[in-house]
């Protein structure tokens, strides 16, 4: 064996991989890892089949022009925002790559990057790999995981290089409002702080709310890398296709990173998406579609000892079980998978210093029958 120092000695296999594997081993209903339990549309599959002929060589590094233009057109139609398809849109292999390239293109040794816990599991290790120092600000269920803007202002130092944003939020389902954008802008105004904004659930926002993209606020937009994913919007998490939207001076640095990570993303997938994005109906109905599933799943926990935490966006429902058990959430998630055959994700793993909460996250992007069966198995606890 060759000995070498691990670059990530504290890092383990992700909780999503662990819980999905356990669900498979146990024959459990898998509401842990976030992916749709149904297929993408026939139309998208036909487009892929069509473009699999004759479009099988490298795409341009920044993405095929047809897809970059479709993304810019969709952004204009949905947000009323003009993007330059040539200089402000980059196609990448999933939002994970967008996050990696955005963080690595601007974070150097000793730079601090602020993130709000619970934070998506990729942020902290990517910052560390870039030599940066993650600064975690904990948010709490009792206050609806709202951000205290004064806490944020206090966490900023001369070393703060960037702040991670995630709305709609994984794992809690909280969403930012336009007022949040204003408050955030007040904090960063006059600084050189950059923003990496993870907006992969932009089209899954409930109860009539509008997604508050940082693109909508000029003070935020000028300093933001917006990371998006087609996986969530079109039920194609396995395609690993995403994009980064950013001003030209940020995009040019982003692309320097992207060219060394993957260089370019799968060509036939890009052409298929370029066509598919042209029909707004493919994403406009998504919030209603998932809101029905959220409501169906939650309905089984009314009048039980599970406490339903509000889910305003994403396809996750968090449930508080503190009235049922004092068991740590990691243990309960494993036990429920083994004994009741329902897999979930413990929320404590998304904290640097986990609070004393007792919360599990359930993915409701599943067929109604499965949601009903899973809910009935655990509601009786």
When asked if residue 118 is in the footprint of ligand PMP (CB under 6 A), the reply is no
**CA pair distance 62, 57, nearest whole angstrom:** 14
Q: How far is the CB of 52 from ligand GLN (least distance, A)?
A: 25
> Is 299 within 8 Å of 305 (Cβ atoms)?
no
337 lies in the site for ligand GLN, by CB under 6 A: no
Between 166 and 264, CB nearer to ligand PMP: 166
**Among 90, 237, 267, 317, which residue sits at the site for ligand PMP (rule: CB under 6 A)?**
237
Three-state SS for 319?
A: strand
Burial 82-103, CB ≥16 within 10 A → b, else e: ebebebbbbbbbbbbbbbbbbb
Residue 33 binding partner per list ligand GLN, ligand PMP, none, with a CB distance cut-off of 5 to 8 Å that depends on partner kind: ligand GLN
- Structure tokens of 89? 């849109």
Regarding 344 and contact with ligand GLN (CB under 6 A), the answer is no
The answer to the question of residue 229 lying near ligand PMP (CB under 6 A) is yes
Hey, which bits of 153-310 come out as E strands? 160-166, 194-198, 224-229, 242-246, 307-308
Rule CB under 6 A: choose which of 167, 170, 197, 264 binds ligand GLN. 170
Q: Does 120 bind ligand PMP (CB under 6 A)?
A: yes
One of 18, 28, 30, 33 touching ligand GLN (CB under 6 A):
33
Q: Check residue 16 for interaction with ligand GLN (CB under 6 A).
A: yes
Candidates 32, 75, 90, 96; binder of ligand PMP (CB under 6 A) is: 96
Pattern 240-259, ligand PMP, x by CB under 6 A: x-x-----------------
Cβ proximity to ligand PMP, 112 vs 198, nearer residue: 198
231 binds ligand PMP (CB under 6 A): yes
Cα dihedral sign for 34, 38, 40, 45? positive
Site string for ligand PMP, 158-197 (x = CB under 6 A): --------x---x---------------------------
Enter the tokens of residue 149. Answer: 């803007």
The two beta strands, 160-166 and 342-343, are unpaired
Considering Cα of 343, then 345, then 346, then 347, what sign does the dihedral take? negative
- Which residues ranging from 11 to 50 are in contact with ligand PMP (CB under 6 A)? 34
Using the structure block, give the residue that is written with the tokens 């996050």.
99
- Tokens representing 133? 């120092």
**Residue 340 CB-density burial (10 A; 0-12 exposed, 13-18 middle, 19+ buried):** middle
What angle do the packed helices 95-106 and 248-261 form, to 10 degrees? 110
User: Least Å distance between CB 170 and ligand GLN?
Assistant: 5
Q: How far is CA 56 from the centre of its chain?
A: 29
Q: What are the backbone angles phi and psi of residue 76, rounded to the nearest 5°? A: -65, -45
Other Cβ atoms within 10 Å of 11 Cβ, number? 13
Q: Which stretch binds ligand PMP (CB under 6 A): 90-98, 110-118, 131-139, 216-224?
A: 90-98
Residue ranges binding ligand GLN (CB under 6 A)? 14, 16, 33-34, 170
Q: Which residues bind ligand PMP (CB under 6 A)?
A: 34, 94-96, 120, 166, 170, 198, 200, 229, 231, 237, 240, 242
């Amino acid at each position: 064996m060759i000995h070498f120092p691990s670059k990530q000695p504290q890092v383990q296999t992700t909780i999503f991989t662990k819980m999905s594997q356990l669900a498979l081993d146990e024959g459990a209903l898998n509401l842990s890892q976030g992916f749709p339990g149904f297929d993408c549309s026939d139309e998208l599959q036909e487009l892929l089949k069509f473009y699999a002929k004759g479009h099988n060589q490298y795409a341009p590094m920044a993405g095929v022009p047809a897809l970059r233009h479709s993304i810019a057109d969709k952004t204009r139609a949905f947000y009323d925002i003009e993007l330059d398809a040539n200089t402000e849109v980059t196609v990448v292999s999933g939002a994970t790559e967008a996050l990696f390239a955005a963080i690595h293109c601007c974070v150097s040794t000793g730079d601090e990057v602020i993130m709000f816990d619970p934070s998506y599991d990729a942020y902290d290790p990517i910052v560390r790999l870039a030599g940066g120092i993650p600064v975690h600000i904990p948010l709490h269920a009792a206050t609806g995981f709202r951000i205290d803007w004064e806490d944020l202002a206090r966490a900023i130092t001369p070393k703060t290089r960037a702040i991670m944003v995630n709305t709609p939020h994984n794992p809690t389902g909280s969403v930012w409002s336009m007022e949040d954008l204003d408050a955030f802008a007040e904090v960063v105004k006059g600084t050189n702080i950059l923003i990496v904004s993870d907006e992969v659930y932009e089209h899954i926002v409930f109860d009539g709310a509008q997604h508050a993209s940082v693109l909508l606020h000029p003070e935020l937009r000028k300093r933001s890398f917006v990371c998006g994913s087609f996986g969530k919007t079109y039920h194609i998490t396995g395609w690993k296709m995403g994009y980064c939207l950013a001003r030209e001076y940020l995009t040019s640095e982003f692309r320097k990173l992207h060219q060394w990570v993957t260089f370019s993303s799968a060509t036939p997938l890009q052409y298929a998406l370029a066509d598919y994005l042209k029909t707004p109906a493919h994403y406009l109905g998504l919030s209603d579609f998932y809101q029905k599933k959220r409501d169906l799943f939650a309905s089984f926990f009314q009048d039980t000892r599970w406490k339903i935490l509000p889910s305003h966006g994403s396809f996750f429902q968090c449930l508080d079980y503190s009235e049922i058990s004092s068991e740590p959430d990691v243990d309960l998630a494993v036990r429920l998978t083994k004994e009741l055959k329902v897999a979930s994700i413990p929320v404590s793993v998304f904290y640097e210093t986990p609070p004393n909460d007792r919360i599990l996250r359930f993915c409701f992007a599943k067929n109604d029958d499965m949601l009903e069966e899973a809910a009935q198995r655990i509601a009786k606890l």
